[in-house]
Chains A and B, each alone.
Chain A
Amino acid sequence: MKTLRILDSSGDRVFTFDESAASAKARREAEALFTRVLSNGATAFKVNRGEGRSDEKVADFSTLENETVVVPRVVGG
């Protein structure tokens, strides 16, 4: 099961999906959202990758791993 977390005012919105046919709809929705938020300037990071691997920036939905955190677009404060 893969988890996509999008940071927002409630803390984060969570979308879970996997490669099975049963969650095809959830996966399509997650992919559409992932593409949309990244095109709006958000940045995604693979986190909690296990086996000693450090976090990593990711832009391709097909390469998502167990958990992904999406940071909204950042601006100078």
Chain B
Amino acid sequence: MHAFEPLMRLWRGLSRPWSLPAREAPAGSAGSTQTPAADGCAAPPTDWIGEAAAARSRASEARARKLLCRMLSPSQLQELETHGCFTVEAPGRGRFCILPRTTFNVFHMQTGNLYCCNTEAFVPLSDLMLAQKLLLEHDPDRFFAVANCRPEVFAGPWEQQLRRALNREPDRTPRQGQASGLHSLR
């Protein structure tokens, strides 16, 4: 064995991107794809870790989405299905659109300003949207005490398009007891 063989093995292992799983050649293909085991290096156990994490993430988001849909008023639910976002009325502050992303996702419909306020603990996106809805509707002072604001110049074409579309739609009444329809979603 060459004196540098252990170091060379280590280098071969390090030079392989850990996040990229080794692809096996499709059956019948003439490719010379080499599996990690073939050159003496064991495959890093990232495949199943990544899949498990992704599955957990999907399950969490599905659970959060179900809760969000149950908490929205019929009009907000319709907006979510139509536009992928929904609007809320913050008492004394105006109407805001909550967009499906994690940063600067609260859009003031009148001014076009974007606000960013996240939960300190990681939560799925739909839970974040629910948290922002509850805070804006029932504790706006807390929301605006911590939220960072970007002026409207940072709003992109999607936000502007949403602003036009949502402003065209007739105002809908906020959720009052969910007497209609939403119970069927539980």
Contact = CB atoms under 8 A, between A and B. Distances in A.
A5 B178 CA distance: 19
B63 A77 contact: no
Interface residues of B, number: 41
A53 B139 CA distance: 16
Tier of interface size on chain A:
20 to 34
Interface stretch (B40-48, B114-122, B153-161): B114-122
A45 B138 contact: yes
16 contacts: A5-B67, A7-B123, A7-B131, A41-B120, A43-B142, A45-B138, A47-B71, A51-B177, A54-B174, A55-B137, A71-B135, A72-B121, A73-B119, A75-B119, A76-B146, A77-B102
Contacts of A20: none
B63 A12 contact: yes
A54 to B, nearest CB: 6
A76 B114 CA distance: 12
A63 B102 CA distance: 32
B60 A75 contact: no
A47 B128 CA distance: 16
A74 B119 contact: yes
B123 A72 contact: yes
